[in-house]
Amino acid sequence: MTTTSAFMLNVRLDNVAVVAIDVPGEKVNTLKAEFAAQVRAILKQIRENKALQGVVFISAKADNFIAGADINMIGHCQNAQEAETLARQGQQLMAEIQALPVPVIAAIHGACLGGGLEMALACHRRICTDDVKTVLGLPEVQLGLLPGSGGTQRLPRLVGVSTALDMILTGKQLRARQALKAGLVDDVVPQTILLEAAVELAKKERLAQRTLPVRERILAGPLGRALLFRLVRKKTAQKTQGNYPATERIIDVIETGLAQGSSSGYDAEARAFGELAMTPQSQALRAIFFASTEVKKDPGSDALPGPLNSVGILGGGLMGGGIAWVTACKGGLPVRIKDINTQGINHALKYSWDLLETKVRRRHIKASERDKQLALISGSTDYRGFSHRDLVIEAVFEDLPLKQQMVAEVEQNCAAHTIFASNTSSLPIGDIAANAARPEQVIGLHFFSPVEKMPLVEVIPHASTSAQTIATTVKLAKKQGKTPIVVSDKAGFYVNRILAPYINEAIRMLTEGERVEHIDAALVKFGFPVGPIQLLDEVGIDTGTKIIPVL
């Protein structure tokens, strides 16, 4: 066995080379510039071994293939030329993998993203597991970039230009069955037989070429391609308002490759990558990525979290139903919902059923997994089943006396260690805890709507909240798949505090005679997803009038 720091080559008795990827000291595999020499050394050994029948690339990590390239490499580039050179080096390495004289198979389990998928695309075939952790995508656009190691050229030729544009322009991630349907992978197998299935595929002397669907073949022709790119440019411009140069360059580069050939496409890809890396948009998006990554590592406090084995929720409305879903279906925790009537409980259960059924219909999960997750959620119109809950989240109306009553009821009906978390959007947590017997176990946990889509959640301790309560609440938010930020118990907390001046200025402009549509259009053009007046309307004027006095 020949060993390198991140890649291990093992030639099996059946003359199939298995290259295991395991970046030392890291939870996930990421591609770094210094790995190029290691990979080339392995490729040289493979080329020189004339007895080899095939090659399999597989991860030695538990639940990760390759999460992408190390973004820090881009930050080290001083100018566009250096970033372009980085892209060309990646392109060359992928070309060497593709040029191997024997079948090369990517055996994928877990995340296969960015540079990881570009490496898989350079392989001759791809096979992946049916695990929910297996996702494939090119998310570079979310960093203001485009795939720089050949992804813009190989993906359209593999899955068709329409599918490729959709994936690259949105950063969409495909699950195993979706990837199989799209033609991105050639087979989906259980994780237990992934390696052997890949080895068997590698032994095949001739690998049949996949035929694109009729629709993609039509769009690949000059006329179909011209119509498609015209439509895509129009729709993309409407969405981005010209604020995201990466989307325009992605379209240009893919079109260049299809119209002028791969060589021109790779050249355009590298140049665009270098130029985009230096744009303020990419620099800002990468800064957000790094900041978000650091926030996700923050435990909230130095204390150890308390027990977190089950959760209670008060209120089965829109917020309560959403919180129940992320707690049970993402966090894997049993949830008990209390509402004043069975209609509220049924609403919350249907909320989760609808979300899960959509996943089943899209083949993200199996029906058995839907039933298993739904079984974690139960409800009642009283506090039966609440005595052992470690944390209870209230999602009732924005009414201080009502929330104080909820605190008293939870303290009376739940365990002595139970944490009370309020989903208030505006009421001071200190006021909610004012009459509590155990104020140190009262905290704010503010979700945003729709709960299943919005990644941010505010964790709001008041003056007497204990460090353990903070740590436990942050732990719950992370289990729910959220990005928690610990904020002060001040007017508006964080989000509404910075949103208020924005809304106030829009209202001031209204009073000065500006038209609603002009105000909203200007802010959408600037880059906001919706205008301030439309946002206020969607939140509800009644809700706004309750929040404004607090702010």
In terms of domains, do 275 and 304 share one? no
458 is known as an active-site residue: yes
| Residue whose pair of structure tokens reads 């991630």 in the numeric block | 173
In terms of domains, do 357 and 470 share one? yes
Those residues with Cβ within 8 angstroms of residue 151's Cβ, 6 or more apart along the chain or in another chain: 117, 118, 121, 138, 140, 168
Alpha-carbon span 242 to 264, nearest angstrom: 25
Which percentage of the chain shows pLDDT scores above 70? Answer: 97
Identity of residue 266? Y
Tens of pLDDT, residues 138-161: 999 999 999 999 999 999 999 999
- List the 111-113 sheet strands across, edge first: 64-66, 111-113, 135-137, 173-175
Q: Which two tokens stand for residue 286?
A: 């990468």
Give me the CATH number covering residue 163. 3.90.226.10
Give me the CATH number covering residue 418. 3.40.50.720
Q: Provide the 3-class DSSP secondary structure of residue 298.
A: coil
Cis peptide before 450 (omega within 30 of 0): yes
Average pLDDT over residues 298-313: 95
In terms of domains, do 160 and 277 share one? yes
Residue 289 lies in a domain: no
pTM, two decimals, is 0.87
- Mean pLDDT is highest, among 292-296, 384-388, 539-543, for 384-388
Those residues with Cβ within 8 angstroms of residue 265's Cβ, 6 or more apart along the chain or in another chain: 152, 153, 253, 254, 256, 257, 258
Alpha-carbon span 341 to 320, nearest angstrom: 14
Residue 529, domain extent: 495-550
Domain stops at, among 463, 486, 509: 486
Q: Which two tokens stand for residue 439?
A: 């104020």
Tens of pLDDT, residues 203-220: 986 666 777 777 777 777
Tens of pLDDT, residues 337-390: 999 999 999 999 999 999 999 999 987 888 999 999 999 999 999 999 999 999
- Predicted confidence at residue 212, as pLDDT, reads 77
Nearest partner of 354 among 324, 392, 394, judged by Cα: 324
Residue among 84, 255, 394, 458 flagged as catalytic: 458
In terms of domains, do 215 and 333 share one? no
Which percentage of the chain shows pLDDT scores above 90? Answer: 85
- Predicted confidence at residue 122, as pLDDT, reads 98
Identity of residue 359? K
In terms of domains, do 214 and 98 share one? yes
| Residue whose pair of structure tokens reads 């090119």 in the numeric block | 138
Cβ contact 130:187 at 8 Å? no
Those residues with Cβ within 8 angstroms of residue 343's Cβ, 6 or more apart along the chain or in another chain: none
Give me the CATH number covering residue 517. 1.10.1040.10
Q: Say how many domains are in the chain.
A: 3
Domain stops at, among 486, 515, 534: 486
- Predicted confidence at residue 207, as pLDDT, reads 64
Tens of pLDDT, residues 419-470: 999 999 889 999 999 999 999 999 999 999 899 999 999 999 999 999 999 9
Average pLDDT over residues 105-133: 97
Going by the DSSP 8-state scheme, the letter that residue 124 receives in this structure is: S
In terms of domains, do 341 and 461 share one? yes
In terms of domains, do 165 and 34 share one? yes
15: region left, alpha or beta (phi > 0 left; psi from -120 to 50 alpha): left
